[in-house]
Amino acid sequence: MAELAQEIGFMQRALALSQQALPACRPNPPVGCVLVKEGKIVSEGFTQPPGLHHAEAMALANYDLPLNEVTAYVTLEPCSFVGRTPSCAHTLVAKGIKRVVVAVLDPDPRNSGKGIDVLKQAGIEVSIGLCEQEVFNFISPYLLKNK
C-alpha cells in the first residue's frame, strides 16, 4: 500500500483530471481516475461525453496489462448500473483490479453504495474518503442535484 502522502497525490491527480471532463461530460458528473502500479501512475481517465467512456473505463482502455497489482483512485464511487455505458464497478471486477480508492460516495439512488458493494463482494479492497472534502467541494453541484 502506498504512503498516505503519495495516495493523496494520486487522488489529487484524479481530481485534476475530473476538471478536464467539463463541460463535455454533462449531464454526467465530472469524474477522474488514475491507475497506479508499484507507486507509479500507469493510466488516467476522465468522464467523456454522454454515451462514451466514464473515467474508470477510459483509464482501463488506456492500459492493457494485468490489473492484479493495480490500484484505481477514483473521485466518485464507480457506477453499479448499466445506462448508456456498462457498469464501471462490474468492469473493474471483471478486469481483476486489486484495490479501489474512492473519494466520495455517489448519492444517486441508482448507485448510492451499490458500486462499493459490488467491489467488496468480489473481494476487492476498497477505501473510501481520501481527499473527500476537496473532491466534494468540486463535485458538489452534481451531488447536491441528486440529493
Contact 17, 29 (CB under 8 A): no
Distance, in Å, from the CA atom of 49 to the CA atom of 25, rounded to the nearest integer, reads 4
Decide if 20 contacts 130 (C-beta within 8 A): no
Q: Are 47 and 31 contacting, i.e. CB atoms less than 8 angstroms apart? A: yes
Q: Rounded to a whole number, what is the largest CA-CA distance in the chain?
A: 38
Pairing of strands 32-37, 99-104: unpaired
- Dist. CA 70–CA 67, nearest whole Å: 5
Catalytic residues: 56
